[in-house]
């Protein structure tokens, strides 16, 4: 069975607990990351995620350069690097969180995300599993122009050229 250390992310962006939310957001945006680990000196003390910013920072109605990361960060849900990926999935789902901090003792090694676990699994991705056996049902889209007709596909050789309303002739 795969271990957490085999699938964890180690290149996790870091910020100091005294950094502002604005500074943390700049780090996240530059790295294209949805979260950062918060350190107090050499010790990992929590994390700040885009989800946490929406739920904890935004309601404060304050400027991001006036609020420190330590005021809005979330604590870590920890897991050992030697734990199984099955245990990691179980903890993520039970705690209703998106990531776990991976530690060896008190030393932060990285984090493991639910999305990362799903991508590393050997089973088919969810979308593929849903579409594998069933054909997609036709979708009816109301015409944005006349609002009384429905858009129909106009195809040539199996390729969709455009969608056109049979009622008013509007096309996309």
Q: How many CA atoms lie within 13 A of 20 on its CB side?
A: 9
pLDDT value at 21 more than 90: yes
Alpha carbons 66 and 62: distance in angstroms, whole number: 7
Alpha carbons 120 and 1: distance in angstroms, whole number: 12
What are the respective helix, strand and coil percentages of the chain, to the nearest 5? 30, 30, 35
The two structure tokens encoding residue 27: 């780090």
What's the pLDDT tens digit per position in 154-169?
A: 887 777 778 888 889 8
Which letter, b or e, does each residue of 99-134 get, where b requires 16 or more Cβ atoms within 10 Å of its Cβ?
A: bbbbbeeeebbbbbbeebbeeeeeeeeeeeeeeeee
**For residue 121, what pLDDT is reported?**
47
Confidence of residue 123 (pLDDT cuts 50, 70, 90): very low
The two structure tokens encoding residue 88: 């990691």
pLDDT value at 136 more than 60: no
In the chain, what are the domains? 4-120 (3.10.580.10), 135-172 (no CATH)
Strand-pair category, 43-49 with 35-40: antiparallel
What's the pLDDT tens digit per position in 82-117?
A: 999 999 999 988 888 889 999 998 899 999 988 778
Q: Please give the share of the chain, as a percent, with pLDDT higher than 90.
A: 51
Average pLDDT over residues 62-79: 93
The two structure tokens encoding residue 149: 């007709």
């Amino acid at each position: 069975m795969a271990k957490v250390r085999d699938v964890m992310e180690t290149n996790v962006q870091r910020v100091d607990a005294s950094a502002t939310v604005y500074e943390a957001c700049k780090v996240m945006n530059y790295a294209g990351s949805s979260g950062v680990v918060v350190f107090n000196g050499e010790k990992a003390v929590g994390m700040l995620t885009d989800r946490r910013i929406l739920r904890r920072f935004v309601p404060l109605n304050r400027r991001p350069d006036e609020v420190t990361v330590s005021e809005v960060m979330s604590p870590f849900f920890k897991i050992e690097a030697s734990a199984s990926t099955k245990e990691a999935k179980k903890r993520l789902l039970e705690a209703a969180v998106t990531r776990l901090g991976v530690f060896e003792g008190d030393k932060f090694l990285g984090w493991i995300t639910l999305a990362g676990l799903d991508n590393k699994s050997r089973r088919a991705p969810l979308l593929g599993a849903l579409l594998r056996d069933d054909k997609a049902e036709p979708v009816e889209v109301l015409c944005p122009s006349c609002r009384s007709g429905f858009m129909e596909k106009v195809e040539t050789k199996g390729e969709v050229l455009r969608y056109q309303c049979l009622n008013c002739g509007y096309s996309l």
